[in-house]
Every structure is written in structure tokens, then in C-alpha cells.
Structure 1
Amino acid sequence: MQPRASFLQRSRFDLPLLTNRFIMHRQTPRLTTAPHLDLLHPARRVWRQRLPSCALSSLETQILGLRRDQADVPGWLIPSLYFQYLQTGDAQDLVGVFYHNLEDILSMVTLAATLTRLLADPWAGETIHALDMAALGYTYDQAGRPAEAERAYRDALSHPLPDDVRLQTYSRLGQLLKRLQRLSEAAETWQDWITHVTRSANVKDLEPYVELAKYHEWHANDCTAALMWTRWGEHEVEAWPRSPARRKLAGLQIGMACNGAAGAKKERRSETDRNTRSCRPPCAQLSLPRISLICTNLGPFVSIRVIRGIRGKNPPGFLPRISLICTNQASVFVSIRAIRGRKSGRWSP
């Protein structure tokens, strides 16, 4: 009999496996052309933010409220039990396998009914969790049902939510209202976003400032307000803590700038060294250490790089030469050279 529909947990696992079984028995695969529903994708879309796992066992306990008895066997054990049956012919161990498959089928039917009822009208039954309501709003939004999406978004935002989920929900609601050309309501949503989303180190987004600046400049014709939101956004960016990558990039940029400025004086320094080298004793000519310090000050970030070049051991009475190159954020370049003489054979920069 030609199947009309098949309910599978994973279309990328069960369906290819059954297709291979048909091919192994030299039969035409009949399930590839039949309509099928993979319940894993809608379950993940609705409950992924609240549940740590959307496996069927987790959905049974957390969503459906089902409990399996001790006759059930784990899914990973079923292949070995079936192989043991092929070797011994004893079907006693397959009782738990049949029970497992039966519970899987019943759970998928119950899950399909639960998802259908939830997507049809989530406000008709019991109270829905705020995280699930936010996910339902996105599901309605992707399905082209803006009225249900807006209602679900606003319902979710009226309850406590984690900062990242609240930020995401405000963003989706604002973009939905913007697509519907309800720009004044979208502007109110972006202002509420700035007001209610906690300023956390892990939650940073300039979208409300950018959208408000564009709204006031292009639609409200209020350039003063647009400039205010732009500067407010710039102030927020400056207050964000610098990430390690940004700090490293700033240090590299300053280092390249200092090296470029120092390279311009390389010829003059070499000429000066040649003129003064003839006046030094031979021991000082053989061991003239040079130390370069590049000191960068960028607000809270301070990077100090020390590059040492020692040519041989330092005899007593040598004359070290220290070059300090300092630069700050205002691109003010100051070069200080200090010549220090120490009589001892050991020294520190």
C-alpha cells in the first residue's frame, strides 16, 4: 500500500536509513515521494530557548509529561540487541525494543497534536512560558502571520526574559513594525529597547540607536534628534569594554606607526653612530646594547613592548644607549633619548 504520510523524528536520519533498506531488498523506495513531517525542526524552533535538549526523551518529560517504565531500553542499545537476536534466535530481549518503538510512535503523535494546538491558538489554553511565546512570535513572523507575531512578541516582552532573548525579541518586533510601515510604533519599540534591556557586557547592540537616527532623519525630518541618537550610540560604543582582539589590534597599529616614525631617523642615527664609534674604547664598540621601549596609552589599555638587542656580554664601564618612543591616542609623538653610564657590569633598563 502506498503511504500517504509518514511522521519521522529526523528526516536526515530515519528517511535515508529506510531508503537504504528498500534498496538492499531490491525494492523501489516508496517513502521518498510520500509527504512526511519532521517534528524535530518545529520542536526546536518552539522550545530550543527553554530546554537544554530537544531530543524526544526530553520533550516527553518536559513538554508532554510522559514517563516510560522499566521495560524500555535505550535507543543506542537496540542494534546490539537485534544483532544478538540474529545470532541466538531468542526474541526475549526484543520485548523492550518493541515497547521502545511503540512509545516513540505514540510520543510523536502526541507531540504533533501539541504543536498543532499550540500554533493554532496559543492563547486559548493554559499560560505559555515567555520563552516559548517569543519563539512562537518568530514562527508566526516567518510563516507570514504578522498579527499573531506582533501579539506573541508583545506578550513575551510583558514577562521577565533573559537579556539576550529580550534584545532579540525587541529587534524582531521593531523590524516587523518597520516592514508594516508603522514607523512611529517601531520608534517606540526601539526606545523601549534602550530603556528596558539591561546593559550587560554580553548584550551589546547599536541597532536601536541606528534605527532611531534613521527614523528621525528620514521620516520625522528632525536632524537634531537624529544627531542626538547618533552621539548617544557613539557614547555607548566608547563605554563598551575592549575585547582582547581590539586591544591587540590597537597595539599593533601603534607599533607600526612607531616603527615607521623610527625608520625615518634610521639614516641619521647610523651616521651619528659611525661618527661617535671612533671615540669609544674597543670594548664599548663590541658590546653596545640598544633598548627600545614603545609605550602606548589608549585609555584603560596600556601596552609596553621591550625589544632588546644585546651583542655579546657587557664588560665593565660600557655605555648603554636607551631609546624611548612614546605615543598616545592623540597621535602626539615624543622621542626621548637618554644616555646612561654605569660602572658596574650589570644593569637593568
Structure 2
Amino acid sequence: LAPTDRYSLGRWYEARGEVGAAERAYRAALTERPPAPIRRAVLRHLSFLLKRQDRRAEAVPFWTQLAELGERDEDGERDAVLACIELAKYYEWHAHDIGAAMAWSRRALRVVTGWPPGPHRERVEEELRHRLRRLERKAGERLMVQDL
């Protein structure tokens, strides 16, 4: 099957609740080197399928690929931001790596500041700035505890 067909099959399995079959179809689609828009869609669906199964650590490489691919492709900027935010959440709440969470948040913010002005950009930018302020406070608190 072509990558597009494997992706469509994965979506079909996912809609039916057959997560194992969906995951296999998505992974197979990625091995076929699909075009960028399909690759982004597969990475997005596979990573969130893993997240819903509480397999976030397994989703990390897919979010990383999605962030990198999205940053290189103007049509993929929203995917890049989405992936960066998911990585920031993962590193903050699951890996407990505030530095990595801050780095991914900043990376998302860099992409968002390049978007055309408007309410969507303003909302996402403010959410990211809020996240960064919270992470900076957390980082400061950890430094203070280490100094004791």
C-alpha cells in the first residue's frame, strides 16, 4: 500500500477503536517516506494515539520529528507549535526536566511570533508566555531549594 493509503487505514482503525491496528498502519506509513503533509499527519495522529494510551515517552520522538518537519515547512508551522507544546508538557510533568520544557516552549514561541498578527496568534503567544513564566518560577524555586 502507498503511505497515503496506510495513513487512511490507520485513521479508519483508530475511528473503530482498534488502536493496535491503527498504530501498526501509522508506523508502516512512516517507513514508506510519505510526502511532508502526509508525514506530518501520520506523526500527529500516531503521537496522540500513544499519548491517549499513556505512552508519552514513546510519543516523544514522533513529536520531535513533527516539530522539526513543521518548522521546515511553512504549511506545517501549526504542527510544529503543537508538537513543541506537547514536548514542553512532557518534559515538565513527566520527565521533570524544566530546562527542556523551557527550551521547547521557547521554540514554539519563536514559530508563533512569525505568524501573521491576529487573535489566534495573540492567544497562542500569551499561552506560551504564561507557560514560560510558570516554568521560570519553577526553575527558580528548584535553584533555591538546592541552595539550602
TM-score using structure 2 length: 0.72
Counterpart check, 1:208 vs 2:65: no
Q: How big is the alpha-carbon RMSD for the aligned residues of Structure 1 and Structure 2? A: 1.7
Q: How does 1:40-51 map to 2 (within 5 A)?
A: none
What does 1:298-317 correspond to in 2, within 5 Å?
none
Matched, 1:158 2:31: yes
1:23-82 residue CA offsets vs partner (Å, 9 max, x unmatched) = xxxxxxxxxxxxxxxxxxxxxxxxxxxxxxxxxxxxxxxxxxxxxxxxxxxxxxxxxxxx
Q: Which runs of 5+ in 1 are unaligned?
A: 1-127, 248-349
- Report how many aligned residue pairs link the two structures: 116
In the alignment, does 2:92 pair up with 1:217? yes
Higher Cα Rg, which structure: 1
Unaligned runs of 5+ in 2: 119-148
1:188 aligns with 2:57: no
After superposition, residues 288-307 of structure 1 pair within 5 angstroms as none
**Superposition pairs for residues 139-288 of structure 1, below 5 Å?**
139-197=12-70, 199-205=72-78, 206-240=81-115, 242=116, 246=117
Higher relative contact order (CA 8 A, sep 6+): 2
Distance 1:197 1:203, change over 3 A: closer
Give the TM-score taking structure 1 as reference length: 0.32
Q: Distance in 1 between matches of 2:70 and 2:101?
A: 21
Does the Cα contact within 8 Å between 1:137 and 1:153 map onto a contact in 2? yes
* Distance in structure 1 (CA, Å) of the matches to 2:45 and 2:109: 23
Q: Write out per-residue CA displacement over residues 204-237 of structure 1, whole angstroms, 9 at most, x where no aligned residue.
A: 2111001000001111111111011000111122
Aligned to 1:133: 6
| Amino acid across the alignment from 2:50 | L
State the distance in 2 between where 1:198 and 1:237 align.
Answer: 11
Take 2:6 and 2:60, find their aligned partners in 1: how far apart are those partners? 23
How high is the sequence identity, in percent, across the aligned residues?
Answer: 35
